[in-house]
A and B are shown apart, each in its own frame.
Chain A
Amino acid sequence: GQNIDQPTEMTATEGAIVQINCTYQTSGFNGLFWYQQHAGEAPTFLSYNVLDGLEEKGRFSSFLSRSKGYSYLLLKELQMKDSASYLCAVLDSNYQLIWGAGTKLIIKP
Protein backbone atom coordinates (compact mmCIF):
# COMPACT_ATOMS: atom_id res chain seq x y z
CA GLY A 1 0.00 0.00 0.00
CA GLN A 2 0.90 3.65 -0.13
CA ASN A 3 2.00 5.38 3.03
CA ILE A 4 3.13 8.84 4.10
CA ASP A 5 4.46 9.26 7.65
CA GLN A 6 4.89 12.52 9.53
CA PRO A 7 5.06 13.29 13.26
CA THR A 8 1.65 14.20 14.64
CA GLU A 9 2.75 17.26 16.59
CA MET A 10 5.89 19.30 17.26
CA THR A 11 6.62 22.23 19.55
CA ALA A 12 9.26 24.91 18.97
CA THR A 13 10.21 28.31 20.31
CA GLU A 14 9.79 31.63 18.52
CA GLY A 15 13.00 32.57 16.73
CA ALA A 16 14.32 29.00 16.65
CA ILE A 17 14.65 26.46 13.81
CA VAL A 18 12.48 23.37 13.37
CA GLN A 19 12.70 20.43 10.98
CA ILE A 20 9.56 18.48 10.05
CA ASN A 21 10.26 15.05 8.58
CA CYS A 22 8.24 13.06 6.07
CA THR A 23 8.88 9.50 4.91
CA TYR A 24 6.97 7.88 2.11
CA GLN A 25 6.31 4.58 0.38
CA THR A 26 4.32 5.04 -2.80
CA SER A 27 3.75 3.35 -6.12
CA GLY A 28 5.97 5.56 -8.21
CA PHE A 29 7.16 9.07 -7.53
CA ASN A 30 6.57 12.24 -9.50
CA GLY A 31 7.43 14.77 -6.85
CA LEU A 32 6.74 15.79 -3.27
CA PHE A 33 4.76 18.79 -2.07
CA TRP A 34 4.63 20.61 1.24
CA TYR A 35 1.52 22.61 2.15
CA GLN A 36 0.75 24.80 5.14
CA GLN A 37 -2.68 24.74 6.72
CA HIS A 38 -3.74 27.15 9.45
CA ALA A 39 -6.54 25.94 11.72
CA GLY A 40 -9.90 26.23 10.02
CA GLU A 41 -8.39 27.29 6.71
CA ALA A 42 -7.47 25.76 3.37
CA PRO A 43 -4.05 24.22 2.65
CA THR A 44 -1.70 26.57 0.81
CA PHE A 45 1.29 25.55 -1.31
CA LEU A 46 4.78 25.91 0.17
CA SER A 47 7.18 23.87 -1.96
CA TYR A 48 7.67 21.17 -4.58
CA ASN A 49 10.71 18.86 -4.89
CA VAL A 50 11.28 16.31 -7.61
CA LEU A 51 15.10 16.13 -7.64
CA ASP A 52 17.33 15.26 -4.70
CA GLY A 53 18.66 18.14 -2.68
CA LEU A 54 17.67 21.27 -0.87
CA GLU A 55 15.35 23.97 -2.21
CA GLU A 56 15.41 27.25 -0.29
CA LYS A 57 12.65 29.83 -0.24
CA GLY A 58 13.23 32.56 2.27
CA ARG A 59 12.77 31.21 5.80
CA PHE A 60 11.50 27.86 4.47
CA SER A 61 13.60 25.11 2.86
CA SER A 62 12.63 21.67 1.67
CA PHE A 63 14.92 18.67 1.19
CA LEU A 64 14.38 15.47 -0.76
CA SER A 65 16.18 12.12 -0.89
CA ARG A 66 14.42 9.83 -3.35
CA SER A 67 16.64 6.83 -2.56
CA LYS A 68 15.64 7.06 1.11
CA GLY A 69 11.99 7.97 0.52
CA TYR A 70 12.53 10.97 2.78
CA SER A 71 11.90 14.68 2.84
CA TYR A 72 12.02 17.42 5.41
CA LEU A 73 10.73 20.95 5.71
CA LEU A 74 13.04 23.33 7.55
CA LEU A 75 11.59 26.49 9.06
CA LYS A 76 14.03 29.14 10.30
CA GLU A 77 13.52 32.22 12.49
CA LEU A 78 10.18 30.90 13.64
CA GLN A 79 7.36 33.37 14.04
CA MET A 80 4.08 32.93 15.91
CA LYS A 81 2.24 32.99 12.58
CA ASP A 82 4.06 29.78 11.62
CA SER A 83 1.83 27.89 14.05
CA ALA A 84 -0.06 25.64 11.65
CA SER A 85 -0.23 22.12 10.31
CA TYR A 86 2.28 21.14 7.64
CA LEU A 87 1.14 18.57 5.11
CA CYS A 88 3.45 16.36 3.07
CA ALA A 89 2.04 14.91 -0.17
CA VAL A 90 3.57 12.68 -2.83
CA LEU A 91 2.53 12.57 -6.48
CA ASP A 92 2.38 8.87 -7.36
CA SER A 93 2.81 7.08 -10.69
CA ASN A 94 -0.80 7.97 -11.65
CA TYR A 95 -0.17 11.62 -10.83
CA GLN A 96 -2.52 11.42 -7.87
CA LEU A 97 -1.53 13.15 -4.65
CA ILE A 98 -1.14 10.90 -1.62
CA TRP A 99 -1.35 12.96 1.56
CA GLY A 100 0.18 12.53 4.99
CA ALA A 101 -1.97 13.28 8.03
CA GLY A 102 0.01 16.46 8.70
CA THR A 103 2.23 17.74 11.48
CA LYS A 104 0.76 20.28 13.87
CA LEU A 105 3.47 22.80 14.75
CA ILE A 106 3.02 24.76 17.99
CA ILE A 107 5.20 27.85 18.44
CA LYS A 108 5.78 29.09 21.98
CA PRO A 109 7.01 32.60 22.85
Chain B
Amino acid sequence: IAGITQAPTSQILAAGRRMTLRCTQDMRHNAMYWYRQDLGLGLRLIHYSNTAGTTGKGEVPDGYSVSRANTDDFPLTLASAVPSQTSVYFCASSVTSGDTDTQYFGPGTRLTVL
Protein backbone atom coordinates (compact mmCIF):
# COMPACT_ATOMS: atom_id res chain seq x y z
CA ILE B 1 0.00 0.00 0.00
CA ALA B 2 1.07 3.57 -0.49
CA GLY B 3 -0.29 6.47 1.51
CA ILE B 4 -3.25 6.20 3.84
CA THR B 5 -6.00 3.61 3.75
CA GLN B 6 -9.29 3.63 5.64
CA ALA B 7 -11.84 0.90 6.25
CA PRO B 8 -14.67 0.44 5.77
CA THR B 9 -15.47 2.66 2.78
CA SER B 10 -19.00 3.06 4.01
CA GLN B 11 -21.17 1.67 6.78
CA ILE B 12 -24.76 1.84 7.94
CA LEU B 13 -25.01 1.36 11.68
CA ALA B 14 -27.87 1.06 14.15
CA ALA B 15 -27.89 3.61 16.96
CA GLY B 16 -26.33 2.29 20.14
CA ARG B 17 -23.89 -0.03 18.35
CA ARG B 18 -20.14 0.14 18.76
CA MET B 19 -18.06 0.82 15.66
CA THR B 20 -14.34 1.12 14.93
CA LEU B 21 -13.09 2.96 11.87
CA ARG B 22 -9.65 1.84 10.79
CA CYS B 23 -6.82 3.97 9.46
CA THR B 24 -3.37 2.79 8.36
CA GLN B 25 -0.50 4.76 6.83
CA ASP B 26 2.78 3.48 5.42
CA MET B 27 4.61 6.79 5.14
CA ARG B 28 6.13 6.56 8.64
CA HIS B 29 4.48 9.83 9.53
CA ASN B 30 4.59 10.72 13.22
CA ALA B 31 1.34 12.68 13.42
CA MET B 32 -2.14 11.39 12.62
CA TYR B 33 -5.58 12.98 12.78
CA TRP B 34 -9.26 12.14 12.59
CA TYR B 35 -11.71 14.64 11.09
CA ARG B 36 -15.39 14.61 10.37
CA GLN B 37 -16.84 16.49 7.41
CA ASP B 38 -20.48 17.57 7.37
CA LEU B 39 -22.32 19.46 4.66
CA GLY B 40 -21.89 23.21 5.01
CA LEU B 41 -19.23 22.90 7.70
CA GLY B 42 -15.48 22.79 7.51
CA LEU B 43 -13.50 19.74 8.49
CA ARG B 44 -13.60 19.40 12.27
CA LEU B 45 -10.83 17.73 14.22
CA ILE B 46 -11.99 14.89 16.48
CA HIS B 47 -8.74 13.52 17.90
CA TYR B 48 -5.09 13.62 16.99
CA SER B 49 -1.85 11.87 17.83
CA ASN B 50 1.53 13.60 17.68
CA THR B 51 3.46 10.35 17.91
CA ALA B 52 2.91 6.69 18.72
CA GLY B 53 1.71 6.26 22.29
CA THR B 54 0.17 9.74 22.63
CA THR B 55 -3.26 11.12 21.73
CA GLY B 56 -5.08 14.41 22.19
CA LYS B 57 -8.58 15.84 21.90
CA GLY B 58 -9.61 18.05 19.03
CA GLU B 59 -12.59 20.33 18.56
CA VAL B 60 -15.33 17.64 18.71
CA PRO B 61 -14.06 14.65 20.74
CA ASP B 62 -17.24 13.67 22.63
CA GLY B 63 -18.51 10.19 21.78
CA TYR B 64 -15.23 9.15 20.15
CA SER B 65 -12.04 7.51 21.37
CA VAL B 66 -8.72 6.72 19.69
CA SER B 67 -5.57 4.76 20.35
CA ARG B 68 -2.09 4.86 18.82
CA ALA B 69 -0.29 1.65 19.68
CA ASN B 70 2.17 1.99 16.79
CA THR B 71 3.22 4.46 14.10
CA ASP B 72 1.06 3.05 11.32
CA ASP B 73 -2.40 2.57 12.83
CA PHE B 74 -4.82 5.06 14.33
CA PRO B 75 -8.31 3.55 14.87
CA LEU B 76 -11.32 5.67 15.82
CA THR B 77 -14.02 4.08 17.99
CA LEU B 78 -17.61 5.13 18.50
CA ALA B 79 -18.59 3.45 21.75
CA SER B 80 -22.36 3.87 21.29
CA ALA B 81 -23.26 5.47 17.97
CA VAL B 82 -25.90 8.21 17.73
CA PRO B 83 -27.55 9.68 14.59
CA SER B 84 -25.63 12.96 14.98
CA GLN B 85 -22.46 10.99 14.25
CA THR B 86 -23.63 10.43 10.69
CA SER B 87 -20.84 12.01 8.68
CA VAL B 88 -17.88 11.40 6.42
CA TYR B 89 -14.78 10.61 8.45
CA PHE B 90 -11.29 11.36 7.16
CA CYS B 91 -8.04 10.17 8.61
CA ALA B 92 -4.93 12.24 7.83
CA SER B 93 -1.24 12.17 8.62
CA SER B 94 1.75 14.49 8.51
CA VAL B 95 5.47 14.04 9.01
CA THR B 96 5.34 15.90 12.31
CA SER B 97 2.88 17.96 14.29
CA GLY B 98 3.47 21.39 15.76
CA ASP B 99 4.89 22.45 12.45
CA THR B 100 3.81 23.50 9.01
CA ASP B 101 3.86 20.03 7.49
CA THR B 102 1.23 19.21 4.89
CA GLN B 103 -1.49 16.82 5.96
CA TYR B 104 -2.26 13.88 3.67
CA PHE B 105 -5.75 12.44 3.72
CA GLY B 106 -7.18 8.97 3.41
CA PRO B 107 -10.16 8.27 1.10
CA GLY B 108 -12.74 8.62 3.89
CA THR B 109 -15.43 6.50 5.52
CA ARG B 110 -19.06 7.41 4.97
CA LEU B 111 -20.96 6.50 8.14
CA THR B 112 -24.73 6.55 8.53
CA VAL B 113 -26.24 6.00 11.98
CA LEU B 114 -29.93 5.16 12.01
A37 to B103, CA, bound (A): 13
**Chain B residues with Cβ under 8 A from A33's Cβ?**
102
Name the contact of B99 in the complex, choosing from A87, A95, A98, A102 (C-beta under 8 A).
A95
- Could you tell me if B107 and A95 are in contact, using CB atoms closer than 8 angstroms? no
A101 close to chain B: CB less than 8 A: yes
- Could you tell me if A42 and B100 are in contact, using CB atoms closer than 8 angstroms? no
- Could you tell me if A42 and B106 are in contact, using CB atoms closer than 8 angstroms? yes
**Chain A residues with Cβ under 8 A from B102's Cβ?**
33, 45, 48
Interface bracket on A: 20 to 34
- Could you tell me if B107 and A41 are in contact, using CB atoms closer than 8 angstroms? yes
- Could you tell me if A99 and B44 are in contact, using CB atoms closer than 8 angstroms? yes
Q: A45-B103, A87-B43, A97-B103 are in contact. List 19 more A-B contacts (CB 8 A).
A: A4-B42, A8-B40, A30-B100, A41-B107, A41-B108, A42-B90, A42-B105, A42-B106, A42-B107, A42-B108, A43-B90, A50-B100, A89-B43, A96-B45, A97-B45, A99-B42, A99-B43, A101-B40, A101-B41
A3 nearest CB across to chain B (Å): 10
The size of the chain B interface, using a CB distance under 8 A, is 19
A97 to B99, CA, bound (A): 11
B64 close to chain A: CB less than 8 A: no
A95 to B58, CA, bound (A): 12
**Chain B residues with Cβ under 8 A from A45's Cβ?**
102-104
**Chain A residues with Cβ under 8 A from B53's Cβ?**
none
B8 nearest CB across to chain A (Å): 15
A window 63-109: CB within 8 A of B: 87, 89, 91, 95-102
B77 nearest CB across to chain A (Å): 21
